[in-house]
């Protein structure tokens, strides 16, 4: 079974400071990894994904994430946080194989608050 | 990019009535659609997976007779909450995946409130 852990329910950072939202995963075989952001009463917006290739993935709104296979992690980062980045962030994983394992499994979410 | 819409965006209904939520892929053919349920400040829980032209596959604990899913075309899936009760109140989100995509595209969600 595949799983995702987001160990922090809440992350607070000051505007202009770097931010990190942590994610670790467990999956059979090679993982496909995703980060999504959700604003209140809205659906999920895609930020970035790792499929293969470079371990550092750059995505929307200045976000990036680093795939670390040995640590089974895919932490989300941004060099300089904005107040508008305040939202709920979800990490998701699925196996690269076919079949039912292709469905996404989501982490529990991390509420990011950027303080002015 | 791929766009998924949901209708309605919010609905309020009386207990005992049925509510239908539509999920449409606007610019691609979605061979697979997913329905999720999200409670406040919680993660998305997969309810069911539907493939066009076949019966949906429900996750354990999800009542298939209560949550009817129809994926009648490559661009439309519907979720009908039958005989809704207050405990069915939730945020329902659909997503869709085309045959060549590695990622899922999410709809904006539907807020259901059952009085």
Per-residue pLDDT tens over the stretch B33-75: 999 999 887 888 999 998 888 889 999 999 999 999 998 888 9
Q: Are A49 and B102 inside 8 Å of each other by CB?
A: yes
The residues pairing with A106 across neighbouring beta strands, listed in sequence order, are: A92
Q: How many residues does chain A have?
A: 116
pLDDT at A50 over 90: yes
A45, A90, A103: residue with CB nearest B43: A90
pLDDT at A101: 46
B108: nearest CB among A34, A42, A49: A42
Compare all CA atoms of chain B with the CA of A90 and give the residue at the minimum distance: B43
Residue A4's nearest CA partner among A109, A93, A114, A115 is A93
Q: Which two three-digit tokens encode residue A92?
A: 């998701």
Region of poorest pLDDT, from A40-49, B20-29, B104-113 = A40-49
At residue A11, the pLDDT reads: 97
User: Looking at residue A40, what is its pLDDT?
Assistant: 83
Residue in A with minimal Cα distance to B47: A103
- Smallest CA–CA distance, residue A110 to chain B, in Å, is 9
């Amino acid at each position: 079974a595949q799983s995702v852990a987001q160990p922090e329910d809440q992350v607070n950072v000051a505007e202009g400071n770097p931010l990190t939202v942590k994610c670790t995963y467990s999956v059979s075989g090679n993982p496909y990894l995703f980060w999504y952001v959700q604003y209140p009463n809205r659906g999920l917006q895609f930020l970035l994904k790792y499929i293969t290739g470079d371990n550092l993935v750059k995505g929307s709104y200045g976000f990036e994430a680093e795939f670390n296979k040995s640590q089974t992690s895919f932490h989300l980062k941004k060099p300089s946080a904005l107040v508008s980045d305040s939202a709920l962030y979800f990490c998701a994983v699925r196996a690269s194989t076919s079949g039912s394992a292709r469905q996404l499994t989501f982490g529990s979410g991390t509420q990011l608050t950027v303080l002015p | 990019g791929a766009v998924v819409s949901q209708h309605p965006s919010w609905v309020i209904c009386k207990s005992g009535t049925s509510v239908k939520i539509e999920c449409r892929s606007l610019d691609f053919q979605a061979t697979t659609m997913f329905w999720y349920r999200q409670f406040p400040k919680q993660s998305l829980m997969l309810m069911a997976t539907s493939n066009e032209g076949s019966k949906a596959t429900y996750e354990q604990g999800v009542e298939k007779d209560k949550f009817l899913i129809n994926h009648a075309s490559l661009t439309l899936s519907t979720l009908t909450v039958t005989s809704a009760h207050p405990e069915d109140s939730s945020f329902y989100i659909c997503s869709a995946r085309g045959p060549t995509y590695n990622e899922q595209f999410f709809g904006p969600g539907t807020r259901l409130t059952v009085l």
